[in-house]
Amino acid sequence: MAILLLYPEILVAIFLCFFFLCQWRWSKTRSAITNWPVVGMLTGLLQNAYNLHEYATWVLKQNGGTFEFKGPWFTNMNFTVTSDPMNIHHMLSKNFSNYIKGQKFHENFDVLGDGIFNSESDSWGYQRKLLQSLIKHRKFELFFQEVVKGIVDKSLIPVLDHVSSFGIEVDLQDIFQRFTFDSVCLVALGFDPKCLSIEFPHVSHAKAFDQLEESVFYRHIVPESYWKLQRWLQIGSEKKFSIAGKILDQFIYKCISSRQEKLSQSRAPKTEEEKFDLLTAIGEQVEEIGGLIKSDKFLRDNAFNLMAAGRDSVSAGLTWLFWIVATHPYVEAKILGEIKEHLLDKGKLKDFNIDELSKLVYLHGAICESLRLYPPVPFEHKCSVQSDILPSGHSIRPNTTMIYSLYSMGRMESIWGQDCLDFKPERWISERGGIVHVPSFKFITFNAGPRTCLGKDITFIQMKIIASAILWNYSVQVVEGHPVSPSISVILHMKHGLKVRIRKRFV
């Protein structure tokens, strides 16, 4: 009884279960969201949880692009959600200093530590400047390209040859997750975990990432006191979260120790990976520049943030791209024609470079269009510092949670026109055959303003290399009847994976 009195959310949750079951029996059709006594608008949200992203899009359209959600009493679950480009431009650029990550974000994503995603103010500014000097360096781009091409040749092609020769159905989403985990570990830590091989090995630290992602989303949808109670008691989702966090920490700290030992043996790195892997580069730069105190914890947090950025978002983007290209044969034909024109040498893919990849304009448009409709991160949130008035006219109080829906923005006629639901790479290509510039606060996949994603360019490099290698060498066919729908998570994975059959184009 004492626990129930200390945590009124539990009482609300019990009531919600009963109320939700009643609502579910009454109707499964989409209806206007209602602010009920005690439970607020949560019942409407729960009733449509199975189709949350589409429901949020519908609600935003009904409310002119911005909506104030009222949660259950006592739970502090109120927030303002928007898909209005002007509001987003205001929050992320014009009034950037007033919209921070906030305490709720830091608590939900505490596994990120003090890395760039979770930092604010001077700490964030220093880390961004440091990472920008490394990631935007031409030598790093060349190193990154070689890492990705190396995994394509040594891991991806052998796996696809294997499944195609045996006619095996394979989950392409799983393949991409393995690929990006290998690549980000090589780039960030200088270590290849070899997740992608014909044995499809179980890799505990890769699976730990999946668990952390699931637990973080759970923290977003239950009352704060409820998951904090679970954390205190070490039960349920929070117990799994703790176990997964320890597995990944052990892995990262082991990589840090191994890297430091190698560098101590020789002050002059000899291999390309030793020259440019980010763990080594960050450690050396911090030591030279000063700024934040250099420590294993600092290196761990930076490595973890880079791994989080480079694994799931890219693999999700690739999964949706291949599904949508497979279901649009004319798009696939145009991409193949472009690859034939720019990347072939005697009928085979040549050892192309970044400049040659930039000639794949139609493929670039297809990637942008896929990311518009299926952004890997479907929603982001901020917290207001002071009172404000949005361009839409909505008044914002201090400490208000602000959510902007990237998924919904790609489906707004007011932003993209009446054909917003159509997959049209052509909308990204100018009459002269170049890439059309779209403001970042409209095409928000890579964020906007001072926190614009530093990895945007290398993301396109990686996606183009992988797409070219697979599409030119193989025909990808989605298994008939395979259900395709987005998962309800912090990353827009496919709920059931992407089951495909792979056939070689040239035998």
Instruction: State mean pLDDT over 130-157.
Output: 89
453 belongs to an annotated ligand binding site? yes
Measure the CA–CA gap between 50 and 266, rounded to whole angstroms.
55
Which of 82-91, 195-204, 215-224 is modeled with the greatest confidence? 82-91
What is the pLDDT at residue 72? 78
Per-residue pLDDT reduced to its tens digit, 165-199? 998 999 999 999 999 999 999 988 888 899 999 99
Using CA atoms, how far residue 29 sits from 15, 39, 47, 58, 69, in Å, is: 22, 20, 9, 13, 20
Residue 416 in tokens: 């993209």
Residues whose CB falls within 8 Å of the CB of residue 293, separated by 6 or more in sequence, listed in order: none
Query: Residues 200, 204, 205, 207: what is their CA dihedral angle, to the nearest 10 degrees?
Result: 70
What is the pLDDT at residue 170? 96
Per-residue pLDDT reduced to its tens digit, 351-373? 778 888 899 999 999 999 999 99
Measure the CA–CA gap between 159 and 297, rounded to whole angstroms.
36
Q: pLDDT tier at 122 (50, 70, 90 boundaries)?
A: confident
Is the pLDDT at 4 greater than 90? The verdict is no
Q: What is the mean pLDDT of the chain?
A: 86
Per-residue pLDDT reduced to its tens digit, 64-79? 999 998 877 777 778 8
Is the pLDDT at 272 greater than 60? The verdict is no
What is the pLDDT at residue 42? 74
The percent of residues above 90 in pLDDT, for the chain, comes to 56
What is the pLDDT at residue 356? 86
Higher pLDDT, 417 or 40: 417
As annotated, the residues of the chain forming the CATH 1.10.630.10 domain(s) are 121-504
Measure the CA–CA gap between 33 and 104, rounded to whole angstroms.
25
Backbone angles phi, psi at 371, to 5 degrees: -70, -30
Give the CA radius of gyration of the chain: 23
Is the pLDDT at 17 greater than 80? The verdict is no
Task: Find out whether 314 and 463 touch, Cβ atoms under 8 Å.
Answer: yes
What is the pLDDT at residue 425? 97
Residues whose CB falls within 8 Å of the CB of residue 75, separated by 6 or more in sequence, listed in order: 9, 12, 223, 224, 225
Q: Pick from 314, 306, 284, 304: which is nearest to 151 by CA?
A: 314
Instruction: State mean pLDDT over 87-100.
Output: 96
What is the pLDDT at residue 10? 42
CA–CA–CA angle 126, 128, 129 (5° rounding): 65
Query: What would be the CATH architecture of the domain defined by 121-504?
Result: Orthogonal Bundle (1.10)
